[in-house]
Amino acid sequence: MSLKYLLSALALISSSAFALSISPPSQSGDAKVIIKAELSAPIILEDTQENNYLKISLTGFKQDETEKSPINLSLVIDRSGSMSGDRIEKAREAAIMAINMLKDDDIVSIIAYSDNAYVIIPATKAKNKDAMIKIINDTIKPGGGTALFAGVSKGITEVNKFIKKNQVNRIILLSDGQANVGPSTTKELADLGQVAGKQGIAVTTIGLGNGYNEDLMTALAGFSDGNHAYVENSADLETAFVREFKDVMSVVAQEVVVTIKLQDGVKPVRLLGRDGDIIGNNVTVKMNQLYSNQEKYVLLEVVPPKGKESENKPLAEVSVSYDNLKTHRKDTFNDRVNIGYSKSQQAVKAAVQEEIVVDSAIQKANIENARAIKLLDEGKKDEANKIIQQNAADMDALSGSVNAPAARTKAISGMEANKKLATEVETKDVSSSRKSLKESTYSTEKQQIKK
């Protein structure tokens, strides 16, 4: 991003040995995120040194429907010429549905963009819904280019008018075309997403049809930990909005920071899935939000030190902090993860946490699917499809080798997802299949749950 545009964007901002460890409820009985820190292989053979997987799992507490957190939402809607016909009609319907799902005390703003971006409803409480719906119907009409950067920038400005830590601050961006007015590179939009993310604003991107840039849209969403959806047909747009609103209305925690301090002799290899910082033996991963009854996780591949029979060595110190939207407090969690050693193959096998094994396989398959996208870009469609088909076969084999029901369910789901992707690559045009593949790799990396 040029210095000029970056400064412009910033100016928009107002100012025990291998046992599961669960964060206990507070004395007052307040809900807390369930946190577990565990290894895929908590016992390994003595004098061996194989790669292991440390998983930090965070599951949002159950939220009563009547206790959802306040929402501060900006809808940023493409009204360029390519949105004419059924697309603009469905976009208006989705916006109206969003308005009707908000409580009167929730904050909403609506931005429409074409050659420029226009605030058609400034940030305000969603009380007078009839008036808002009339404005939507009267003003969201197609024509002009796609000033996507300007639209998101104004969305950030509107959200910042009422931004608070104890509410859900979200932008939902809808676009069907290439950004062609103003800043338009993937890096420029990713930088803008980072600006939003630093303020606690998640940007969800919804791509409609096959004309938008999925790399740009996922980069924009990714840097703010938002969702991404590919909607091939405009008739399915309302479904995508409903899915997104279920997430918006179920946020229970924000500003999540997971810190892992590996002990001497433990080598960090890589994070599987979410990005983070690995500096020496210290690993930090941040998440924008957690949802009710949904699991998000950090998965770190490590090489543990060698040990002797019956030894029990500390492997990592884990700490987690997050803002609890129900209690309006910052909760913390601390735990130590140990690793044990044995001469018995049976003891080692019995201790394996199969669900983590499957999680690691899913994330490694996802890396391969990202490689398949590059092959599609090179015109190597058959090679790309072979990778996806192999992923499906591997997940199928894994489902037959695990005994834990949750692990088997995940493996079967991974197999089915890859089979579907392989069919799409084989039967659909490259643009459509690439978007499906990009949506899949993004949602797997971010553990974005499809409802």
Mean pLDDT of 127-135: 95
pLDDT at 381 over 60: yes
Look at strands 282-291 and 277-279 and give their pairing.
antiparallel
Q: What is the pLDDT of residues 317-354, one digit of tens each?
A: 999 999 999 999 999 999 999 999 999 999 999 999 99
Of the two residues 365 and 451, the one the predictor is more confident about is: 365
Tell me the mean pLDDT in the region 162-182: 92
Give the pLDDT band (50/70/90) at residue 366: very high
Q: What's 32's DSSP letter?
A: -
Q: What are the tokens at 354?
A: 């199969």
Written as one string, the DSSP assignment of 237-287 is HHHHHHHHHHHHTTEEEEEEEEEEEEPTT-EEEEESSS--EEETTEEEEEE
Is it the case that residue 19 has pLDDT exceeding 50? no
Q: What angle do CA 251, 254, 260 make, to 5 degrees?
A: 125
pLDDT value of residue 6: 37
* The pLDDT of residue 193: 94
Whether the pLDDT of residue 5 is over 90: the answer is no
Judged against a pLDDT cut of 90, whether residue 17 lies above it is answered with no
| pLDDT tens per residue across span 392-425 | 999 999 999 999 999 999 999 999 999 999 999 9
CA dist 132 and 127 (Å) reads 9
**Average pLDDT value for the chain:** 91
Query: Are the C-beta atoms of residues 395 and 440 closer than 8 Å to each other?
Result: no
- Percent of the chain topping pLDDT 90: 86
Report the 10 Å Cβ neighbour count for 136: 23
Per-residue model confidence (pLDDT) at position 270: 97
Do residues 41 and 348 make contact, with C-beta atoms less than 8 angstroms apart?
yes
CA–CA separation, 228 vs 245, rounded Å? 13
Task: Give me 273's structure tokens.
Answer: 């899935």
pTM over 0.75: yes
| Predicted pLDDT of residue 431 | 95
Residue bearing tokens 């899949």: 440
Please, which pLDDT band fits residue 30 given cuts at 50, 70 and 90? low
For 352-361, the pLDDT digits (tens) are 999 999 999 9
pLDDT at 16 over 90: no
Residue 302 backbone dihedrals phi, psi, to 5 degrees: -135, 160
Q: Which DSSP string do the residues of 347-394 spell out, in sequence order?
A: HHHHH--HHHHHHHHHHHHHHHHHHHHHHHHTT-HHHHHHHHHHHHHH
Average pLDDT over residues 419-443: 96
For the stretch 182-211, pLDDT in tens is 888 999 999 999 999 999 999 999 999 999
> Cα separation of 260 and 3, whole Å?
34
Q: Given phi > 0 = left and psi -120 to 50 = alpha, else beta, which region is 343? A: alpha
The number of CA neighbours under 13 Å toward the Cβ of 258 is 28
The total number of residues shown for the chain amounts to 451
Per-residue HEC secondary structure of 140-161 comes to CCCCCCCCHHHHHHHHHHHHHC
Q: Are 201 and 231 in contact, with CB atoms under 8 Å apart?
A: no
Dihedral through CA 243, CA 244, CA 246, CA 251, nearest 10? 150
Closest CA to 39 of 415, 265, 304: 304
How confident is the model over 164-173, as a mean pLDDT? 94
Lowest mean pLDDT among 35-39, 177-181, 389-393, 420-424: 177-181
DSSP state of 174: E
pLDDT of residue 450: 64
- By CB atoms closer than 10 A (0-12, 13-18, 19+), residue 232 is middle
Q: Name the region of 63 (left: φ>0; alpha: ψ -120 to 50; beta: rest).
A: beta
pLDDT level of residue 448 (50, 70, 90 thresholds) = confident
Q: How confident is the model at residue 23 (pLDDT cuts 50, 70, 90)?
A: very low
CA pair distance 395, 374, nearest whole angstrom: 22
Continuous segment of H or E residues that includes residue 440: helix 430-446
Gap between the Cα atoms of 337 and 300, Å rounded? 13
- % of the chain exceeding 70 in pLDDT: 93
Q: Which two tokens stand for residue 58?
A: 């965070």
Please tell me what DSSP assigns to residue 61. P
**Which of 353, 350, 301, 313 lies closest to 50 in space, CA to CA?**
301
Within 10 A of 17 (CB to CB), how many other CB atoms are there? 13
Asked if 43 contacts 312 with a C-beta cutoff of 8 angstroms, the reply is no
> Among residues 230, 198, 201, which one has the least CA distance to residue 217?
230
The 10s digit of each residue's pLDDT in 140-160 is 999 999 999 999 999 999 999
Cα-only R_g, the chain: 23
pLDDT(119) > 90: yes
Q: Which region, left, alpha or beta, applies to residue 209 given φ > 0 means left and ψ of -120 to 50 means alpha?
A: left
Question: What region, left, alpha or beta, does residue 243 occupy, with left being phi > 0 and alpha being psi -120 to 50 degrees?
Answer: alpha
Would you say 96 and 62 are in contact if contact means Cβ atoms under 8 Å apart? Answer: no
Q: pLDDT value at position 174?
A: 96
Confidence band of 246 (pLDDT split at 50, 70, 90): confident
